[in-house]
Structures are given as structure tokens and as C-alpha cells.
Amino acid sequence: MTYRVLVTDEIDPDGVALLRSAPELEVDEVPTLPAAELLERIGGYDGIVGRSATRISRELLEQGERLRVVGRAGVGVDNVDLEKATQLGIAVLNAPGGNTVSVAELAFGVLLALARNVHTAATSMERGAWDRSRLGGIELRGRTMAIIGLGRIGGEVARRARGFGMELVGYDPYVSATRFEDLGVERYDRLATALEKADVLTLHVPLTSETQGMIGPAELARLRPGTLVLNLARGGIIAEDALMDALRSSRIAGAALDVFAGEPLAADHPLRSCPNLLLTPHLGASTTEAQRSVAVEACAAVRDALVTGDLSAALNAAGVGGTGWAELRSLLELADRLGRLGRTLLPGALNTVELRYAGPREEAPRPLLLAALRGALHDVVDRRAINLVNAQHVATERGIETAWTQVAGRTEGGQDIELRMDGGDRSVRVGGAVFGDTHGRITRIGSFRVDIAPRGTLLVLRNRDVPGVIGRVGTLLGEAGVNIAEYHQARLNAGGEALAAVSVDSPLTSDTLDRLSHLPEVLDARQVQMD
């Protein structure tokens, strides 16, 4: 069978050549098309590969009656209607690893420019000045670099920093001690401690609810007066107003930003006039090599999806059809939710993830483990960059050991998943089951047996097994306007410790969760988003 693929947005020739080399694929390469013209043409194609210039809208996906695969030559898929693609059974694939080296190298480009005042010197020379006496700089050798985030890019930065003879410290509560040791980075358990050690602070974390504004006034105040600050990760991780205050007051020596809270940066934005601040227009992946790498990665995934039906590289793989994957959908979703639940119950460093599958499908354990890893890491790495194909790679990068086993299946068509997650001297077990084609149920949290659907927001409460607990919890949630969908109370021994799994229709505010935690009978309260 022959599949037609439309390539647009000036995809690197190496990627296009890879597609053309497959005899099953017929490739049309066109420049970026106006939306109306693309809409008119898309009905004749099984796949489309592009960059950010082409918007893969709901209307375009609906018009693409043959469309099975969307390939994005880059990390982000902001220009793709992912929800609609999933609904229509269209796999969306990206290239999560192609820009690693380019971002790491840019980090040192801007760092050297700050350390030696290259940007200021070049501007002064353009004005006809000769400011040699006032533009002295510093060496990087012997300076301490604090790396916040030791994932893929943070690791590459660490390797290059060692080549400059720098001392390395770092903070990443989601990475094991083994990875820190392998990279030669001294690990700190508190962000504040790492900040206080820094001569250079560089950020390499995704933008999540946890990292939004993580470097604010209090954190900047902990830095030494001569510190240089870099953010090439995501806009919003540094509070821009606080950074400008620190620079204008000479609280820190300099900073470089390649990403911003709002992009493109407005022409009159105050960052543009801030002293000793080096700005670049989101150039992290703007190299020939990175563009080639992401093109090859995306095109290879599109080829494999069309030619062999391999959808394991898809961001939305759990929701698309295809040989083997449709039958696993409910199991994959359950494994993902168990990963999220286990990670919420085991904050901090994650060292080991083990999955036990009881069921008849020999092909199931491996993708289920990947789905569990995806769930466990979905708030740790950028959600756009974590999927079934790279979950194991991300886990390996972070020093997380993984394993799976399969045992004889349950009776009457039931299939069980049990997940064990270890971090240091702590561990947690969670489990669930799927019967037939139904959605899965969470059946175990720690030593407690429960029965609750993994949907919406799930509250997990440890409480004393005394009368009135359920009423007080329900009253508090009701006063907060939170509706309870399911409430399952479990206990091991009467009068001892009990556990409640409560499914609610909306997330709790931090204040409501705090009030819940401080009820006299409640020992601990956590919430995890299941959707």
C-alpha cells in the first residue's frame, strides 16, 4: 500500500530524504501554504510533516479524511490541536531530543559573553568607542555553576562546564543521586542551598505549576552580588520584574534570557533597557544541526507510523488506534494514572519503578511500564516532551531503574497492574484492574484495598479510624464548593489508621487542601489530577 505525505515549512532535506527512501511513501514537498489552500489539499494525504509555521487546526484535522499521522519537526506541538487529533485517531509525533546540544552550547555562548562583556564591548565598538579599561571580565575556571534541573539539557551543560574547569552543584528533587554522581555534580536537597553556592545560576527545568516563578525576589536575594543568571528553558521560571530589580540594584552582576513570559518580546518591553541583560529571541534550537536532527527524528517517526503501524512515538499514543494499541488503551490509561498517583504519594527523588502485570497479553508489560513512567514524570518534565517512546530514555537519564514482570491472568477476563515506586528509604505500592473493555479502577493504595475510578481529581487521605471523619471531610469539601463523585474508605484494623480515596469534580485550592490536612482526625492529605 502507498501512503501520501505532505511536507511543508522547509523541513531539512535529510528528513525529507528519509521519507522518500521508503518505497511505501509518496512525498510532496511544498512551501508553507496559506490556511485555505492547505485545507483544500489535505484530504488527499495520509500524513503531514511541518514545523511551527503551519497550524494543524481542528478544521484541518477534520478535513483530512485520510490523515493518520501529524509530524512536528520540533519539541512543541502548540500549533497542533492535540485533543481533536486524538479524538479522530490521528497520531501526533514530535522530536523531543533534537535540540539538546544546541541549547547547551548556546548557554555557554551567552555565559561567555556575560563573563567577558562581549555583548557590551561589541556595542561600544560599533559606536566608535574603545572601552578596554572598563570592560574587564572574569574566568569561568574555578567558578561554581549551580544547575537547576539535571535532565537531558542540564546534563549536557554539566559536561561542558566540567571542560571549563568549573565546580558544579545542582538541585533537582526528581533525579537520583546516581545521576548527580555520574555527571560530577554535587547534589543539594534544597534550592536555597544551591543558590547560595552559585557564581553562575543556570535553569533547565520545564514550565509547570511547580516551577512557575520559582526564581523570584527571595531566591534572587540569596545569590552572591557577582552572580550571573541564565534562563534558556522556559519563560516564566524567573520572575522578570524581580530579575530587573536585581540587575538595576546591582544585586547580581548580569543575566541572559533566551525565553520570556510573553513571546515575541514587545518592542517597548522594559527588559530591553535593563542594564547588563543579554537578550536573544528564543534561539535555543536555531542551529542547522538541531533543525536537521528534529527533522530526521520526526520524519522517522512518521515513516514508522505509516509503514509499520508503530504508534509508540506518538504523544497521544494511548488514545489512537492501531494493531495492539487499541486493545491496550484502557490498560495504558490505568498505568498512566497509577504512575501519577504513586508519584504524588512519593515526592522527592525517584529511584526505582517496577510494574507487575497479571493478564494474558504478552505484549502488554513493556508499554504499560512506559505509560506508568509517563504518568510518574508528567509533572517533572515538559508534558510536550514525555511520551511512550521516550519515557524509558527520560527515566534512564534521571537514574531511575525500571523493571516489569508478568504473572498468570485473573479469571473472567480481568487484568491487574501493580506499581511499586522507591525513593531512597521510602516506597509506595499502588494497583488497579481492568475488566473487559471497561475503564480501569484503582484497587490498591499502599496496604489498603480500595475501589475507585481514576478520573478528575483524586484525594488520598490518611486518617484515624474514628467516628465522624467522613462527615467532617464531606462538610469541609461542601463548604469549599467541591462536589464528591466517589468516596471509598478502607481500613486494616478497627480503631487504627484508615485511608480514604475520594474522587472530586474539581481540584482543591491550596487553602482548602491545607484546611483538610489540619482536620484533627486527618494525618495526611494529597491530591492528584487524573485527567
Residue that wins the pLDDT comparison between 330 and 167 = 167
- Residue type present at position 33: L
At residue 160, what are phi and psi to the nearest 5 degrees? -75, -35
Could you say which of 263, 272, 363, 479 is catalytic? Answer: 263
The chain-wide mean pLDDT, for the chain, equals 90
Q: Is 282 a catalytic residue?
A: yes
Contacts of 289 (CB under 8 A, 6+ apart): 101, 102
Q: Using alpha carbons only, how large is the chain's radius of gyration in Å?
A: 25
Question: Which pLDDT does position 323 carry in this prediction?
Answer: 47
Q: What is the pLDDT of residue 167?
A: 98
List, in sequence order, every residue forming a beta bridge with 356; answer none if it has no partner.
405, 418
Q: Is the pLDDT of residue 153 over 50?
A: yes
- Per-residue pLDDT of 345-388, as tens digits, reads 998 889 999 999 998 887 788 889 988 998 999 877 654 456 66
Judge whether residue 168 has pLDDT over 50.
Answer: yes
- Contact assessment for residue 232 and residue 283, using Cβ atoms and an 8 Å cutoff: no
Q: Please report, for residues 119, 225, 228, 245, 275, the alpha-carbon distance to residue 249 in angstroms, rounded to integers and kept in the order given.
A: 20, 10, 14, 6, 10
pLDDT at res. 389:
53
Q: Who contacts 127 (Cβ-Cβ below 8 Å, separation ≥6)?
A: none
- In the residue annotation, 518 being an active-site residue is answered as no
User: Annotated catalytic residue: which of 4, 222, 282, 410?
Assistant: 282
Average pLDDT over residues 187-191: 96
**429 band by pLDDT with thresholds 50, 70 and 90:** very high
SS3 content of the chain, % helix, strand, coil (to 5): 35, 25, 40
Sequence-ordered alpha helix ranges (H) in 79-151: 82-87, 100-115, 118-126
Q: Is pLDDT above 70 for 409?
A: no
Strand, helix or coil for residue 348: coil
**SS3 category, 415:** strand
The domains located in the chain, with CATH, are: 1-98+286-320 (3.40.50.720), 100-279 (3.40.50.720), 324-446 (3.30.1330.90), 455-531 (3.30.70.260)
Cα–Cα dist 228/114, whole Å: 8
Nearest-10 Cα torsion for 290, 295, 296, 297? 90
Active-site annotation holds for 234: yes
330/404 Cα distance (integer angstroms): 18
Which H or E element spans position 489?
strand 484-491
Q: Which of 51, 119, 187, 234 is catalytic?
A: 234
pLDDT, position 384: 42
pLDDT of residue 370: 87
153 vs 440: CA distance, rounded Å: 36
Q: What is the pLDDT of residues 48-91, one digit of tens each?
A: 999 888 999 999 999 999 999 999 998 767 789 988 887 787 88
Residues 1-47: pLDDT tens digits?
A: 899 999 999 999 999 999 999 999 999 999 999 999 999 999 999 99
Q: Is the pLDDT of residue 436 over 90?
A: no
What is the CB neighbour count within 10 angstroms for residue 388?
25
Q: Is the pLDDT reported for residue 326 higher than 60? A: no
Which has the closest alpha carbon to 434: 413, 456, 407, 405? 413
pLDDT in tens, 448-502: 999 999 989 999 999 998 899 999 999 999 999 999 999 999 988 877 889 999 9
- Whole-angstrom Cα distance, residue 408 to residue 189? 42
Beta-carbon contacts of residue 326 (< 8 Å; ≥ 6 apart): none
User: For residue 134, with 0-12 CB atoms within 10 Å meaning exposed, 13-18 middle and 19 or more buried, which class applies?
Assistant: exposed
* Angle, CA of 418, 424 and 430, to the nearest 5°: 15
Pairing of the two strands 522-529 and 47-50: unpaired
For residue 96, pLDDT beyond 90:
no
| All cell numbers assigned to 30 | 511544498
**Pairwise CA distance, residues 222 & 197, whole Å:** 9
**Residue 16 confidence (pLDDT):** 97
pLDDT at residue 437, rounded to an integer:
62
Query: Mean pLDDT over residues 430-441, rounded?
Result: 85
In the chain, the percentage of residues whose pLDDT exceeds 70 is 94
**At 459, which amino acid appears?**
L
Q: Find all residues with CB under 8 Å of 45, minimum gap 6, and list them.
A: 4, 5, 6, 28, 64, 66, 67
What is the predicted pLDDT for the residue at 383? 46
What's the angle, vertex CA 389, arms to CA 22 and CA 89, rounded to 5? Answer: 70
Q: What contacts 215, CB < 8 A, 6 or more positions away? A: 148, 201, 203, 229, 231, 237, 238, 239, 242, 243
Kind of pairing between the strands at 414-423 and 497-504: unpaired
DSSP string, 180-231: HHHHT-EE-SSHHHHHHH-SEEEE-----TTTTT-B-HHHHHTS-TT-EEEE
Q: Give the pLDDT of residue 317.
A: 65
Distance, C-alpha 254 to centroid of its chain: 28
**Distance between first and last Cα of the chain:** 37
Query: Given pLDDT bands bounded at 50, 70 and 90, which one contains residue 129?
Result: very high
Q: How far is Cα 494 from Cα 465, in angstroms, rounded to an integer?
A: 7
What mean pLDDT comes out for the span 119-142? 92
In the predicted model, what is the mean pLDDT of residues 123-144? 93
The percent of residues above 90 in pLDDT, for the chain, comes to 71
pLDDT at 378: 83
SS3 501: strand
Q: Which of 130-144, 175-189, 423-437 has the lowest mean pLDDT?
A: 423-437
The residues that bridge with 403 in the sheet, in sequence order, are 354
pLDDT band at residue 301 under the 50/70/90 scheme: very high
